[in-house]
Structure 1
Amino acid sequence: MSLLQDSVNTLNQVPQQTVELASTQENLNLIQLLMKGGWIMLPIILLFFLGLVIFIERYITIRNASKREGGLMAQVKTNVLSGRLDAAIAVCKSSNSALSRMLQKGLSRVGRPIKDIEGAIENQGKLEVSKLEKNISILGIIAGIAPMLGFVGTIFGVIQIFRDVEMAGGIDIGSVSGGLYVKMIASASGLTIGILAYIGYHILNMMVERLILRMETDAVEFIDLLDEPGA
């Protein structure tokens, strides 16, 4: 009876030891896990932080530029129709937004042909758009480079594994599978960062495109205002 009880206790300890081993492996924090990917993880992590900083900075900038100033066009229209161009220009200067700078450039050309005014507004609009798109292309570059760096890390890892196998003179399934597990971290990290950068790149581009459409609409409204008989 005692022998049977000892056998039962031994069987009960095996799953418990397995659970404890799994728990120890799961307790690896994120930094330790990433560092197992090798030296290639350093540039991948740098790309992640670079992309994060660019996305947050551009998102805030574009969001602030997208805030609609409801009274701007109304004040400009009132002053233009009243013949107070200096007051309209002063309103634009006090606003200090992309649209106000475009309108200010157009107001400074009042008295010239409409084509000249349109050209001035269009050129100012291109400058404003270039400011908004600053550094967004870097996110596109990160989206392409990060996955490739991850694959490079995995390839170097596989090369190292086969070199260790050759030096050992035999194949140890445990070491090979463990090495692959470690080196696949680089690929997973690179792909994840690449996907995030790709998403961020397109989010910012969509925000800029919506803002451009609104600026073009307001510019057309301003040109129509100058074409009115009383302007």
Structure 2
Amino acid sequence: MILTQISTAQDSVVTSIEATDSVRIIDLLFQGGFMMIPILVLSVMAVYIFVERVLTINKAAKTPEQFISRIRELVEKGDISAARMMCQQNDSPVARMIEKGISRIGSPLKNIEVSIENVGKIEIFKLEKNLSLLATISGSAPMLGFLGTVIGMIQAFIAIAQEEGSVSPKLLSEGIYTAMVTTAAGLFVGILAYLGYNYLVTRVQKVVHKMEYSSVEFIDLLQEPR
């Protein structure tokens, strides 16, 4: 019975401590000042861009297995319309590049390569959409945090200067830790945005390599003697 009461008391203490900590963190965020607003906006933008890009890149990376092999079989048989239809049914950058090349069959090989390359550039541009904005957020969020800290420190020293008599350590410490909140928030958003940017760039490069490999394979197919 006594052990049960002790355990219950410990659980209540832990719960109250966790609740107090969470309230303190929320209070600190609210005490960060008006510079927390742009940092919050940047964090929402970073999350949106990251999720939207991940979904887009995942969709672009999904090319059916044996896609090029099937295209090769149809082109070798001379069934160009079936090959184009197969490309149209597949919503991926590789399929759109190959479809453009198939539509140019009969033209000089150089023209086919240029047309595939142009489509590839458009697809890469679509994949890299908003990545530069995410990189900008990774650099600007910490700067906004530092700016908020400087503003907070100025306000703290103004309050100290206006204080009559001796300055209490509590007044000084409250002004300083409140000012440092914006730096912590800005660094947190900036680090997450930076990691997300590098992850997305790596994923895009993998898709680009796949596009290049598929286009080279298709050009080799057209160069094979018949």
TM, length-normalised to structure 1 = 0.87
Residue 49 of structure 2 corresponds to: 54
Quote the offset at 1:28 in angstroms.
1.5
Matched, 1:112 2:107: yes
Structure 1 alignment gaps of length 5 or more: 1-18
Quote the offset at 1:220 in angstroms.
0.3
- Residues 1:52 and 1:137: Cα distance change in structure 2 (over 3 Å): same
Residue 167 of structure 1 corresponds to: 162
Runs of 4+, deviation exceeding 4 Å:
22-25
Return the alpha-carbon distance in structure 1 between the equivalents of residues 90 and 189 of structure 2.
38
* Identity of matched residues, %: 42
Q: Match of 1:155, as an amino acid?
A: V
Residue 103 of structure 1 corresponds to: 98
Residue 149 of structure 1 corresponds to: 144
| 8 Å CA contact 2:29, 2:181 repeated in 1 | yes
Q: Match of 2:123, as an amino acid?
A: E
Return the alpha-carbon distance in structure 2 between the equivalents of residues 90 and 153 of structure 1.
57
Quote the offset at 1:32 in angstroms.
2.6
- Residues 1:101 and 1:150: Cα distance change in structure 2 (over 3 Å): same
Q: Match of 1:202, as an amino acid?
A: N
Residue 15 of structure 1 corresponds to: none
Return the alpha-carbon distance in structure 1 between the equivalents of residues 82 and 159 of structure 2.
78
What pairs up with 1:79-228 in 2 under 5 angstroms? 79-169=74-164, 170-228=166-224
| 8 Å CA contact 2:61, 2:92 repeated in 1 | no
Return the alpha-carbon distance in structure 1 between the equivalents of residues 163 and 177 of structure 2.
20
Return the alpha-carbon distance in structure 2 between the equivalents of residues 187 and 52 of structure 1.
19
Quote the offset at 1:29 in angstroms.
5.2
Return the alpha-carbon distance in structure 2 between the equivalents of residues 81 and 139 of structure 1.
45
Q: Match of 2:179, as an amino acid?
A: K
Matched, 1:71 2:66: yes
Return the alpha-carbon distance in structure 1 between the equivalents of residues 24 and 131 of structure 2.
32
The number of equivalent residue pairs is 211
- Provide the alpha-carbon RMSD of the alignment: 1.8
Structure whose CA Rg is larger: 1
- Residues 1:25 and 1:91: Cα distance change in structure 2 (over 3 Å): closer
- Residues 1:77 and 1:27: Cα distance change in structure 2 (over 3 Å): closer
Return the alpha-carbon distance in structure 1 between the equivalents of residues 22 and 89 of structure 2.
57
2:27 to 32, 40, 49: 32
Quote the offset at 1:200 in angstroms.
0.5
Return the alpha-carbon distance in structure 1 between the equivalents of residues 160 and 175 of structure 2.
11
| 8 Å CA contact 2:135, 2:193 repeated in 1 | yes
- Residues 1:27 and 1:84: Cα distance change in structure 2 (over 3 Å): closer
Q: Match of 1:211, as an amino acid?
A: V
Quote the offset at 1:113 in angstroms.
1.2
Return the alpha-carbon distance in structure 2 between the equivalents of residues 94 and 26 of structure 1.
54
Quote the offset at 1:33 in angstroms.
2.4
Return the alpha-carbon distance in structure 2 between the equivalents of residues 143 and 83 of structure 1.
51
